[in-house]
């Protein structure tokens, strides 16, 4: 398994290179640049700025320079956040997004799986229908509706929690954003769990387990759950990568210093280095999470072989 993991990590290098190259050239192909603004700069200043940031060179040269720097861990200065390097921006924001994302996903897995199992065990009853109804609502309500609603109820009407802000990062500041992040995930995970459970509960080995006189609890926990959770595991890999890199909507609404906003603002401002920083962060996470999913698959299903 170790050699498999190492091989997969090595394979990730060309994958990431392709991602970086594609994003770099696509980004430069987009019209406009970091120094285009409503106020037109004198041509000399613009030329100087471009020269300072190597923007006067052909794109392929810029790419080689960028790649050389990036390989040494230097992701360059941000074009729009003056006096900050990309590493500084992502370095301070990422822990915030990571904490929010991981808490949300943990909450979503615990609640989602429980609800999904419950729905599958009470298939086609009122319990099942209400859980699946709730899940449908959870998926369809966008978080830019859910988040203000939560703020309104718990922040303003009930006054239990702060409306926004990060403060010292203590628990009361993260409850609402985490709930807003987790709700759609709970919905998706509960549906996936139910689907997996329903399918496995119909399988021959579950019938065998019933014929052996095993109690329901043992059948669910020992014979059903591991096989039923495979679709959830597949979903969780990319979902974790997405959640820990922050959500621009949630961060805007709750005024949180995460990195989600950099994805959007970087692109709008043509902040080339910042965009590349976010792309590399997200790409690496996706690659790692997919590897993790494959390894977990092997733990859940002994038929999976690494060779």
Partner 1 sequence: MAAVLEVRDLQVRFATPDGEVSAVNGVSFDVNESECVGIVGESGSGKSQLFMAVMGLLAKNGRTLGSAKYRGTELVGMPVDKLNKIRGDKIAMIFQDSMTGLTPHLRIGRQMTEVLEEHKGMGGADARARALDMLNLVRIPEAARRLNQYPHELSGGMRQRVMIAMALLCEPELLIADEPTTALDVTVQAQILELMADLKRVTKAAVVLITHDLGTVAGLCDKVQVMYGGRFMETGDVRQIFYKPQHPYTKGLLSSMPRLTEDRRTTLYAIPGQPPNLQRLPAGCPFQERCEFVHQRCVDELPLLQEARPGQFKACHLESLEHPVDDPTRAAIPAEAMPPVIRDVRTA
Which residues bind to partner 1, rule: CB under 8 A?
123-124, 203-205, 207-216, 218, 222-223, 226-227, 300-303
Pick between residue 229 and residue 253 the one whose CB is nearest to partner 1: 229
Tokens of 99: 């904490």
Reduce the DSSP state of residue 171 to 3 states and report it. Answer: helix
Residues 6+ apart with CB under 8 A from 300: 226, 227, 229, 230, 233
Pick between residue 81 and residue 297 the one whose CB is nearest to partner 1: 297
Minimum distance between the CB of residue 3 and partner 1, rounded to whole angstroms? 22
Tokens of 138: 């959870």
Minimum distance between the CB of residue 228 and partner 1, rounded to whole angstroms? 11
Pick between residue 229 and residue 285 the one whose CB is nearest to partner 1: 229
Helix (H) or strand (E) holding 126: helix 126-140
Distances in Å between the alpha carbon of 126 and those of 20, 136, 144?
Answer: 50, 15, 30
C-alpha 4/C-alpha 218 separation (Å) is 33
Residues 6+ apart with CB under 8 A from 297: 230, 233, 234, 304
Pick between residue 99 and residue 226 the one whose CB is nearest to partner 1: 226
* End-to-end Cα, the chain, rounded Å: 9
Minimum distance between the CB of residue 223 and partner 1, rounded to whole angstroms? 5
Decide: 151 and 253 in contact? Cβ < 8 Å: yes
Minimum distance between the CB of residue 118 and partner 1, rounded to whole angstroms? 16
Minimum distance between the CB of residue 19 and partner 1, rounded to whole angstroms? 35
Pick between residue 22 and residue 299 the one whose CB is nearest to partner 1: 299
């Amino acid at each position: 398994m170790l050699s498999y993991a190492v091989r997969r990590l090595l394979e990730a290098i060309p994958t990431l290179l392709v991602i970086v190259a594609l994003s770099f050239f696509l980004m430069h192909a987009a019209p406009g640049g970091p120094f285009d603004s409503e106020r037109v700069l004198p041509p000399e200043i613009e030329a100087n700025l471009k020269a300072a940031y190597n923007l006067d060179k052909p794109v392929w040269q810029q790419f080689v320079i960028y790649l050389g720097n990036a390989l040494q861990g230097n992701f360059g200065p941000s074009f729009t956040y003056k006096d900050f390097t990309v590493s500084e921006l992502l370095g301070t924001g990422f822990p915030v997004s990571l904490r929010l994302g991981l808490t949300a996903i943990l909450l979503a897995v615990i609640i989602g799986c429980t609800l999904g199992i419950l729905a599958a065990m009470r298939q086609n009853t009122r319990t099942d229908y209400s859980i699946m109804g709730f899940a449908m609502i959870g998926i369809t309500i966008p978080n830019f509706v859910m988040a203000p609603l939560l703020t309104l109820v718990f922040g303003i009407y009930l006054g239990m929690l702060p409306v926004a802000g990060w403060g010292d990062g203590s628990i009361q500041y993260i409850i609402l954003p985490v709930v807003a992040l987790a709700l759609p995930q709970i919905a998706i995970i509960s549906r996936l769990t139910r689907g997996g459970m329903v399918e496995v509960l119909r399988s021959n080995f579950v019938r065998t387990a019933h014929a052996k006189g095993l109690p329901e609890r043992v059948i669910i926990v020992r014979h059903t759950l591991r096989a039923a959770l495979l679709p959830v595991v597949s979903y969780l890999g990319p979902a974790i990568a997405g959640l820990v890199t922050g959500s621009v909507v949630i961060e805007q609404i709750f005024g949180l210093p995460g990195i989600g906003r950099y994805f959007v603002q970087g692109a709008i401002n043509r902040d080339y280095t910042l965009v590349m920083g976010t792309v590399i962060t997200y790409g690496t996470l996706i690659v790692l999470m997919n590897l993790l999913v494959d390894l977990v698959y092997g733990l859940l299903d002994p038929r999976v072989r690494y060779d």
